[in-house]
Structure 1
Amino acid sequence: MSEKRGAAFYVLAIFFALFVAFLYGPIVTIGILSFQGPSGGLTFPMNGVSTHWFFDLFEQQAVGDFWGSFSRSFMLGLMVMAVTVVVSVMAGLAFRRRFVGATWLFYLAVTSLIIPSILVSLGVGLMFDIAGITPNWFSSAFGAQLTWTLPFGLLIMFAVFNRFDKSYEEAARDLGATPWQTVRHVVLPIIGPSLIGVALFGFTLSYDEFARTLMTAGSRNTLPLEIFGMTTNVTTPVLYALGTLTTVFSFLIICAALGAVALTRRRKARGPSDAGKGMV
């Protein structure tokens, strides 16, 4: 306890403090400015303190369609999340056994992570244009965002199954479980927390994705595109109120995912025998 800390400790502490300030400073600044008074502007110093702009956000705006873009981003996020989870699990199960072309298929799946996002957006948009299909948020934007979320889901599932103890599956088969019962009652409960993580990745990466949606959303904007468009037209703190609410919504999604992980682990630790009862 009496040991003195060296100079390196204080240097690293200052560096960490600067990192936290750089990471969360803009979020805090927007949150503070969103509480400007009714006659407040977009910069400091603040002209009064109120929740006026939060209430103004729920009224009809002269510029922007907040609720429409939010509903589209939310539905798109759910669609991307569902497909990402299902495909990632199926791919993780498939890659547990070697098959012809597995290596090349893996490289092909993760290639989209190193391709600039704007090029992916441009390419998908051109494909739809050549095919004579009108780009839209639920079709072309959906496909473009999957090129971003699926590689993350695949990498997580590969890491999970790389550490998976196959003796659990062997024990289930010894008890007479069918392959589907083994997956349902043994594999899925064990990897449940990881599936929630993949779902969280899929939703959050889709919810705030801008570049891959820019040229694929068509005439109806998602929330990131709408916010970007509003920055050139909205000159009141209502834009900051929108940013604060979307940030709070994102944190609520993360908290819900962490709560689901904790609940899954508690249920798994409560009684592994329950899974065996379902297979008998």
Structure 2
Amino acid sequence: MTDGRSRAFYFLAAFFAAYVLFLYGPMIAIFVLSFQGPDGGLTFPMNGVSLTWFAKLWEGQGIVDIGAAFWRSARLGLVVMALTVAISVSAGLAFRRRFPGSAFLFYVAIASLIVPSIVTSLGIGLEFRLIDDTIKHLADTFGWAYTQRHYTTAMGLFTSGLGAHLTWTLPFGLLIMFAVFNRFDPRYEEAARDLGATPWQTFRFVVLPIILPSVVGIGLFGFTLSWDEIARSSQAIGSVNTLPLDLQGLTTTVTTPDIYALGTVTSAVSFLVIGLTLTTIRSLARRRTRHGDDSGSGLV
């Protein structure tokens, strides 16, 4: 107990510190440089401190409308989050019982995790181009004048873009729900049914409160994975860009700290969502513990 630390301890501590610096150093540098003064550049040392570049960010940078891209990504992320939660919970309930083809369906559902993202994006883009060609061919064949004049493409934010993002978020949501229901005690449901609860009441008042922290976590995965996605959006988003795609495009043209301010804003949104999610999960855990104590004291 009185011996000092071994050399291995200091070596591992230094290695861990270097790892943390390598992991978070670039992000911290971007955060700091985004607060450059009006005459600041893209490197250190800083030339003053101000919020100038955040103000310029919302004024627009060339032909890129950052405000519109921000809200497009936010809307898409919320829709992806809602669908990921709904489909994952439904699939988790369905897979509690074996059915013909369940194993095959499971592997198909998570296969997109091992397929390169850019390949998935190219495949979705090609699929929608085939749909466009088919619709235009039918319009020419049957003389659909309105379609011939106005139809351009089925690709868009909430068609091909939504599908591309779901190929990334759904496997994570499914794996989480499978793990949750694999540990779920069915005796809670049996007790509810014995007391006369309907299947919907059993799910709403028994199952959902127990799995709710995991459901909130799935929502976090759904939004943040969609919010930051680039590769799967690149070939499947249509005529508009999400915020990460605009951010990627600006990296080749911006020569001022606007780009750092944009990176800080997008990171702040991610941290805000993570913070709200963790707060919600902790509140649910405290509420469950409090209710458990109340019910225990009532039994006594």
Cα distance per residue 1:51-99 (max 9 Å; x no partner): 2112222324334211111101000001110010011001111111111
Q: CA deviation at 1:271?
A: 2.0
Q: Which amino acid aligns with 1:9?
A: F
Give the partner amino acid of 1:216: A
Q: Give CA deviations for 1:27-62 in whole Å, capped at 9, x if unaligned.
A: 101011111111111112222222211222232433
Q: Distance in 2 between matches of 1:146 and 1:246?
A: 20
Tell me what 1:278 maps to. Answer: none
Could you tell me which residue of structure 1 aligns to residue 84 of structure 2? Answer: 84
Equivalent AA in structure 2 for residue 210 of structure 1: I
CA distance in structure 2 between the partners assigned to 1:118 and 1:61 by the alignment: 27
TM, length-normalised to structure 2: 0.88
Give 1:51's aligned residue: 51
Q: Which amino acid aligns with 1:218?
A: G
**Structure 2: distance between partners of 1:12 and 1:145:** 39
**Which one has a bigger Cα radius of gyration?**
2
Partner of 1:96: 96
TM-aligned CA deviation for residue 137 of structure 1: 1.4
Distance 1:272 1:168 in 2: 14
- Match for residue 14 of structure 1? 14
CA distance in 1 between partners of 2:78 and 2:87 (Å): 14
In structure 1, what is the Cα distance between the partners aligned to 2:154 and 2:65? 21
What aligned pairs does 1:51-130 form with structure 2 within 5 A after superposition?
51-130=51-130
Structure 2 CA distance for aligned equivalents of residues 188 and 83 of structure 1: 17
Instruction: Tell me, in whole angstroms, the C-alpha distance in 2 between the residues paired with 1:60 and 1:107.
Output: 44
Post-superposition offset of 1:125: 0.5
How many residue pairs end up in the alignment?
Answer: 275
Q: Percent identity?
A: 61
For residues 69 and 3 of structure 1, what CA distance do their matches in structure 2 show? 59
**1:63 touches 1:233 (CA, 8 Å); kept in 2?**
no
Aligned-pair distance for 1:273?
10
- Give RMSD over aligned pairs: 1.6
Contact 2:60 2:66 in 1 (8 A): no
In structure 1, stretches of 5+ residues that fail to align are 276-280
Q: Which runs of 5+ in 2 are unaligned?
A: 133-152, 296-300
Bigger mean CA offset, 53-62 vs 145-154: 53-62
Report the secondary structure of 1:191's partner residue. helix
Structure 2 residue aligned with 1:137, among 144, 148, 157? 157
Aligned to 1:259: 279
Give the equivalent residue in structure 2 for 1:25.
25
1:213 maps to which of 219, 233, 240: 233
Structure 1 stretch displaced more, 12-21 or 191-200: 12-21
Which shifted more, 66-75 or 43-52?
Answer: 43-52
User: Aligned equivalents of 1:176 and 1:260: distance in 2?
Assistant: 31
Q: TM-score, normalised by structure 1?
A: 0.94
CA distance in 2, matches of 1:242, 1:260: 27
